[in-house]
Amino acid sequence: MATVQGAAGTQADEHAVEGPGRRYLLPCMLALFFIWGFATVLVDIVTPKLKSLFDLSYTEATLTQFCFFFAYAVISAPAGALVGRIGYMRGLVVGLLVMACGCLTFAPAARMGLFPVFLLALFVMASGIAILQVAANPLVTKLGPASQAPSRLTLAQTFNALGTTVGPAVGAWAILSHVSEIKDPTSMAPEALAAARQAEGAVLQWPFLIIAAGLGVLALFFWSVRSWVKEAAREETRTESRGLGLDLLRQPKLALGALAIFLYVGAEVAIGTLMVSYLEQPRVLGPSPAYAGHLLSLYWGGALVGRIIGSFVLRYARAGLVLGACAVTAGLLATVSGLSSGMLAAVTLIAVGLANSTMFPTIFAMAIDGLGTRAAQGAGIVCMAIVGGAVVPVVTGFLADHVGLGLALAAPVVCYLSIAAYAFAHLRQARASDPASLEALAA
């Protein structure tokens, strides 16, 4: 059976989170993963509209993702220390409230009609999500047997993918179909241009204000059920969680896992961010922005389908093998898309979402395996690596400005092939440490 749990797994580790309502907590966590997936993917919808609203280049437009994911680099390690001190449940509440504040910031951003204020809103929103990532991912891994942690986390990420699948369709209806492009902004007077941007930007705020209200309700709920996790469990997470825990980077498994997360999130976000613009090209499909936004749902929907399948596959197949196969497939699909045109280019790029499906939860579980009471700190370090979503999209946008969107896919392709190398190296190490697995695999 596939597992990323080493010999360090103990009976205590298998049920590291105890409490009177522990068995009800996993469904609540699945709902939480759905909500933040829904909110996160709206950035992909907002980006093309901000590009047209402020007459941005591709490189400038990807600053939305840079500011969003840069928050992970700034917040994740402190968030790991915070969650280590206050516990998982209180960490969830803090993350939800910070994320709600970010969503509320879209209102002044729209009233001012200023691109930097939109970037600030995305940064604050992402800071809350970073805290949620640090608290929620390790909590899910501790809600059952350690040997099934990758499968359980993949299930949670399935609901996250459900949110990212529904989000683009809702965003395309609520944002792309109601925002009109400002024609020739260079010919408009400064006052008229500012007024037009304020009017068009107002449409962007309402989905995020509604999300903020929902996040507030969720924060109240998790605060009211915080007793579901016993105080003793929180004390356990605090025992060794002092400081930022950067010393954990001396462990190759965590360090390489963090690098793999950096590359994966960067590639996934780069493709998602530029998908609408990519599909709009005459050489690909040339649809309207709203229709291209709906097609973006298929990209994230592939991740949903793949995670449903992956949550079962990972119970029986080695994590490194599954990860390597998915990374190679994603790289090949992106390569074919970049070198082709028409429906083939569109379908192969959208299909990358299916190949992406199990990568994040598998890498995450592999990276923090065996950290015990320092899992929150390890999760914080891994979540710092999500800053790849800030770096790789900007690199891809830069390439798109200079060599075109098709050839710009070379950046995510390199990321996927590097992840495949990491996965197969992990698989070789696992086989070396467990010689009996060779016989089991052959059988």
Closest of 116, 4, 141 to residue 60, by C-alpha: 116
Burial of residue 252 (CB within 10 Å: 0-12, 13-18, 19+) is exposed
* 145 within domain boundaries: yes
The residue ranking higher by pLDDT, 376 or 129, is 129
- Write out pLDDT tens, residues 302-344: 878 888 888 788 778 888 888 999 999 999 999 999 999 889 9
Residue 439 has pLDDT above 80, yes or no: no
| Cβ atoms within 10 Å, residue 217 | 11
Q: What is the DSSP letter of 374?
A: G
pLDDT in tens, 275-290: 888 888 888 888 776 6
pLDDT at 399: 93
* CA distances in angstroms from 206 to 51, 108, 284, listed in the order given: 19, 12, 32
Q: DSSP 3-state assignment of 98?
A: helix
Q: Is residue 5 part of a domain?
A: no
10 Å Cβ neighbour count for 375?
A: 28
Q: Say if 359 falls within a structural domain.
A: yes
Residue position matching structure tokens 């059920």: 225
- The pLDDT of residue 420 is 94
Q: Which of 18-32, 34-48, 378-392 has the lowest mean pLDDT?
A: 18-32
Q: pLDDT of 186-216, one tens digit each?
A: 556 666 666 666 666 666 777 888 889 989 9
Q: What is the CATH number of the domain that holds 197?
A: 1.20.1250.20
* Residue 135 lies in domain: 11-442
* Distance (Å, whole) CA 292 – CA 273: 12
pLDDT digits (tens, 9 = 90+) for 418-437: 999 999 887 777 666 655 54
Higher pLDDT: 380 or 172? It is 380
pLDDT (mean) for 162-174: 75
Report d(CA 93, CA 32) in Å as an integer: 11
pTM of the entire structure? 0.69
Q: At what angle do helices 252-280 and 375-384 cross, to 10 degrees?
A: 40
Nearest CA to 376 out of 9, 149, 82 is that of: 82
Residue 176 to residue 288: CA distance in whole angstroms: 9
Supply 231's token pair: 């105080």
pLDDT in tens, 34-85: 888 888 777 777 777 777 777 788 788 878 878 888 888 888 888 888 888 8
Q: Determine, yes or no, domain membership for 379.
A: yes
Identify whether 1 is part of a domain. Answer: no
Is the model's pLDDT at 175 over the cut of 90?
no
The stretch 179-192 carries a mean pLDDT of: 57
Residue 378 is assigned to a structural domain of this protein? yes
The stretch 10-19 carries a mean pLDDT of: 46
DSSP H or E stretch at residue 226: none
% of the chain surpassing 90 pLDDT: 23
In a domain? residue 114: yes
Task: Look at residue 62 and tell me if it is in a domain.
Answer: yes
Q: Please count the structural domains in the chain.
A: 1
Residue pair 212/201 in contact (Cβ under 8 Å)? The answer is: no
